[in-house]
Structure 1
Amino acid sequence: MSRLSRGVFILFVVLRYGLDELVLSSFRHPWLRLFTRILTLGRNLHAPRGERLREALERLGPIFVKFGQVLSTRRDLMPPDIAEELAKLQDRVPPFSSEVAVATIERAFRQPVDQLFETFEREPVASASIAQVHFATLRDKSGQRRDVAVKVLRPGMLPVIEKDLALMRMMAGWVEKLSDDGKRLKPREVVAEFDKYLHDELDLVREAANAAQLRRNMEGLGLVLIPEMLWDFCHPEVIVMERMKGVPISQVDVLRAAGVDISKLARDGVTLFFTQVFRDGFFHADMHPGNIQVSLDPATFGRYISLDFGIVGTLTEFDKEYLAQNFTAFFRRDYKRVAELHIESGWVPPQTRVDELEAAIRAVCEPYFDRPLKEISLGMVLMRLFQTSRRFHVEIQPQLVLLQKTLLNIEGLGRQLDPDLDLWSTAKPFLEQWMLDQVGPQRLWRELKAQAPQYAKLLPQLPRLLHDYLQQPRGGDSRQLAQLIAEQRRTNALLQILLYLGLGFFTSMLVLVAWAHLNVYF
């Protein structure tokens, strides 16, 4: 199917399911609405609008299903009937044939399913836009019987995604050429980011690696459980993992009846998000309710269970530091610092007046402080910030698109769990501690430990390097001398820092000893 035919198909689906009613009703020209009615004469529009929208998104394919998943978490922006229906896209996408799933598993591991597993449930327990999951049991290397979940990639996904992405790239090019905001919004770079993550999601081994990384990162935090991947049974089309047993987070009444502290659960969700983003720079970027459960097992009661790791976001150290400083300045209501950070980062033109940008940011954010989450819509805040960014020619950063999407998911989840949650006050202590770790003595000590092996190797070589240089004829290569001088300066700086630390430690010990003697004396 060509891009043109795919575009025609999308238009047909929109009209076939009556989605034009959701858009064209606001158009000024009645002839346009009449034209669509003539084109779709005889269609049945008796089904509720939410059901028609969900069915249309399912018909259009995985990219549109994911779009519906994001919309389902925004109950403050979507009418209740549409939000409820779109929630079914989270894990109730129509499954594909079990025979196809079995054939995929047997092709991947070159063994019959009955030899791979002791038991295999042909009926899938969950079906999503990219893959579906079957429960099974197997014997591990020690001979113990183990419950597992088998995730199988939906067949024929790559051609569909390629066609939709081609259309998105084409439309992004139109936006960039025809829109005044095209250059600032960087639509082609944004589409390229989604292209990367969607293709990553089609490789289930990559998803297994993402899960393993998150599992290591979250060890010791005591807030979330992540399934163990069984690497002997991992393939790009099939992965086998530890089976997790929990209650879907959307079943709040069931969790509350079981004794789960819902308010704490909401706070823990915020902590998890900020830990993954700012401490690790590696975060789960598909945190809709269909991918989150809560454990009721006595040993792990009240902990999150995280599933589906096909899409993760990553941030560089520069991104993390910039975002943390912005968030911290926001929480302190230091709007001048926020404006300065935007200018320093190059996100706005250097000639931008700090006081004007400061006033605009204050007007957007100030009304939302000290208010519970039920009275705040991050969607509305982002929309107003978007309008402000257009005025000041702020360049959109494509690498942060997934972070923005995840932040909206977190807000939707927090709103569902505890509408009275104060998002700002919950996040502020974490960010302030993170900033202290970045600039305090712990950061210095980590850097010294990281660089110590390099300098330990370099120090014995300095005499030889100096001797080799002195043996060269006059006018020799000055770059070697520059390198030597640079390395010597770095070494001197390190030794100076170590000297200061040693003196500081020695002085502190003297003060403590003197204080102890004074206490004994008095």
Structure 2
Amino acid sequence: MWPTYKENEEKQKNGFLVDAQEMILVLARIAIISTVITILLITYLITRLTYANLFPIILQKGIEFLGPIFVKFGQWISTRWDVFPRDICDTLSQLQRNATPHSWLYTEHLLEATYGPSWQNLFVKFDGKEPIGSGCCAQVYKAWIDQNATWESQISHFADTKVLNGSDKLASASPRTRNLQTIAVKILHPGIEGQLKRDIAIMRGFCKCVTYFIPKLHWLSFTDCIDEFARIMENQVDMRLEASNLVKFSANFSKRNDIVFPYPYTHLTRRRILVESFHEGAPISDYLEYDDAILQRRLAKIGITMVFQMIFKDNFIHCDLHPGNILVEKTIAKASLFNTFWRVITSDYAEHDSRLIILDCGLVVSLNERCRQNLRDVFYSVLTRNVNVSTVMSELFSAMINHRVKQDGSFSSVILSMLVIEGLGRCLDPKIDIFTEILPYVFSSVMYNK
């Protein structure tokens, strides 16, 4: 049956009301952002001569108040000790794992809405009502799952979030047959999708205004970068995609014992909830001022080679590698004849076996062939000129403006990730030889391309 004229008119009216409401929310958001930024600028001018140590704390609170996109930028700033003041970096590093969490009441409500009123038969115990970590988009709890608990109806691997009906109940195993497994439960913050959508619309409008008044910046593809950033941020708020990324990363690094990715329980993961294996470790930032130079050198090498493998070999790149998403698992090296011999002949012998645990794999990009070729050229320049990656990147962006060369948005995401991990690597080991580490990856990539 065709819709009547009144039905069409009603739909148009509802659509207009929704658009008008969204416009009001965007304008209100612009007013809030402008007000907070103005307050931060005034605070900086007031405190820089008197109470300078207060400004980093006020800046952190302001960034948290503004929401996930600003928290993401704050996380990036906190990794660049070589660019920003150390007190600001140290304070903003709290945003990596200790951003303001949402309430346990919301978490409990979401668990019940997703898994039904019997969800506690599956998630037997939570390690308190406070999360063990909270980032810009979600927070993580340590919990225990009963692997013997079963669904009375089939669970699809990537079913959408929905309230279970009467036939979808959890059957709990008896206490004697419970098989408990420690897991991590990642819960998306409430209302984050709408806020991301509005903030990205504001950023896109701001970039268009800037490029209109400064035409040279058009060649940096700011709007393309925003579109790419919007895509990967939208992916980050869908936990099913992060679970899929974890599976692929685990396969890519299956032959390396020094890199670990959590294992996702895909049959329990939903759009707003990710269930994955739990891994104990300390944030890599704890090792920046560690007294074991050999261990620091090893961690820096693992991190640098990991990113090079993602870029040049796998073309599947984690774009959110701030220190809060990198844990260090340290164990005592096993006693063996080989280890004893190695300890005698080398000064780089480590008393501990260490590996990196990589978390928060929602922000992922892959490059097209043109961008990969550009990256090969960039790192070839690094090899031949013996300079820092950040120096070459600065020259690259200047050349793009001067010669009016547009670049794909994902290229900028990879460059940003590379700068973060290079800064982290040099903080761990200022003498790290990036050229030696990059050579086999660039060489193999060039040979494969030929």
Fold conserved between structures, TM > 0.5: yes
Q: Which amino acid aligns with 1:79?
A: P
Contact 2:283 2:323 in 1 (8 A): yes
Contact 2:204 2:226 in 1 (8 A): yes
**For 1:209-240, what per-residue CA distance to the aligned partner results, in whole angstroms no more than 9, with x for missing partners?**
11111111110122201111112210001111
Q: CA deviation at 1:379?
A: 4.2
Q: Which amino acid aligns with 1:215?
A: S
Distance in 2 of aligned mates of 1:418 and 1:282 = 26
1:249 aligns with 2:284: yes
Distance in 2 of aligned mates of 1:303 and 1:226 = 11
Please tell me whether Structure 1 or Structure 2 has the larger radius of gyration of its CA atoms.
1
State the match for 1:310 in structure 2.
362
Distance in 2 of aligned mates of 1:218 and 1:74 = 27
1:230 aligns with 2:265: yes
1:382 aligns with 2:389: no
Contact 2:280 2:329 in 1 (8 A): yes
State the match for 2:171 in structure 1.
none
Q: 1:380 to 1:144 in 2, by over 3 A?
A: same
Q: 1:143 to 1:215 in 2, by over 3 A?
A: farther
Q: 1:380 to 1:433 in 2, by over 3 A?
A: closer
Secondary structure of residue in 1 paired with 2:145: strand
1:239 aligns with 2:274: yes
Q: 1:393 to 1:314 in 2, by over 3 A?
A: same
Contact 1:277 1:283 in 2 (8 A): yes
Distance in 2 of aligned mates of 1:425 and 1:286 = 25
Distance in 2 of aligned mates of 1:255 and 1:230 = 35
Equivalences for 1:114-125 in 2 at 5 Å? 114-121=120-127, 122-125=129-132
State the match for 2:93 in structure 1.
87
Secondary structure of residue in 2 paired with 1:15: helix
1:77 aligns with 2:83: yes
Secondary structure of residue in 1 paired with 2:320: coil
Distance in 2 of aligned mates of 1:191 and 1:65 = 16
Q: CA deviation at 1:309?
A: 0.8
State the match for 1:393 in structure 2.
404
State the match for 2:444 in structure 1.
433
State the match for 2:210 in structure 1.
175
Secondary structure of residue in 2 paired with 1:231: coil
State the match for 1:2 in structure 2.
25
Q: Which has the higher contact order (CA 8 A, sep 6+)?
A: 2
1:19 aligns with 2:41: yes
Secondary structure of residue in 2 paired with 1:146: strand
Secondary structure of residue in 1 paired with 2:404: coil
Secondary structure of residue in 1 paired with 2:269: strand
Distance in 2 of aligned mates of 1:200 and 1:429 = 32
Q: CA deviation at 1:63?
A: 0.3
Distance in 1 of aligned mates of 2:395 and 2:377 = 21
State the match for 1:415 in structure 2.
426
1:136 aligns with 2:143: yes
- Structure 1 runs of 4+ with >4 Å offset: 44-47, 253-257, 378-381
1:49 aligns with 2:55: yes
**For 1:22-67, what per-residue CA distance to the aligned partner results, in whole angstroms no more than 9, with x for missing partners?**
5xx6xxxxxxxxxxx9xxxxxx978611111111100111000000
State the match for 1:287 in structure 2.
321
Structure 2: state its 5+ residue gaps: 1-23, 149-176, 335-351
Distance in 2 of aligned mates of 1:181 and 1:254 = 42
Q: CA deviation at 1:167?
A: 0.7
Q: CA deviation at 1:248?
A: 1.3
Distance in 2 of aligned mates of 1:218 and 1:111 = 39
Distance in 2 of aligned mates of 1:388 and 1:319 = 15
Secondary structure of residue in 1 paired with 2:267: strand
**For 1:67-111, what per-residue CA distance to the aligned partner results, in whole angstroms no more than 9, with x for missing partners?**
000000000100111111111110110111011111112211124
Q: 1:278 to 1:183 in 2, by over 3 A?
A: same
Secondary structure of residue in 1 paired with 2:431: coil
Which of 70-79 and 231-240 deviates more? 231-240
Contact 2:378 2:392 in 1 (8 A): no
Q: Which amino acid aligns with 2:400?
A: S
Contact 2:220 2:401 in 1 (8 A): no
Distance in 2 of aligned mates of 1:256 and 1:433 = 36
Distance in 1 of aligned mates of 2:377 and 2:70 = 35
Q: CA deviation at 1:249?
A: 0.7
Q: Which amino acid aligns with 2:142?
A: F
Q: CA deviation at 1:310?
A: 1.2
State the match for 1:492 in structure 2.
none
Distance in 1 of aligned mates of 2:52 and 2:118 = 46
Which of 58-67 and 173-182 deviates more? 173-182
Q: CA deviation at 1:114?
A: 2.0
Equivalences for 1:350-389 in 2 at 5 Å? 366=385, 369=387, 376=388, 378-389=389-400
Distance in 2 of aligned mates of 1:389 and 1:324 = 16
Distance in 2 of aligned mates of 1:253 and 1:400 = 28
What do you get for the CA RMSD once the two structures are aligned?
A: 2.5
Q: CA deviation at 1:172?
A: 1.8
Q: Which amino acid aligns with 2:413?
A: L
Q: Which has the higher helix share?
A: 1
Contact 1:227 1:243 in 2 (8 A): yes
Contact 1:75 1:412 in 2 (8 A): yes
Q: CA deviation at 1:255?
A: 6.4
Contact 1:138 1:148 in 2 (8 A): yes
Distance in 2 of aligned mates of 1:162 and 1:45 = 37
Identity %: 28
Contact 1:117 1:136 in 2 (8 A): yes
**TM-score normalized by structure 1?**
0.68
Q: 1:172 to 1:279 in 2, by over 3 A?
A: same
Distance in 2 of aligned mates of 1:255 and 1:204 = 34
Q: Which amino acid aligns with 1:406?
A: S
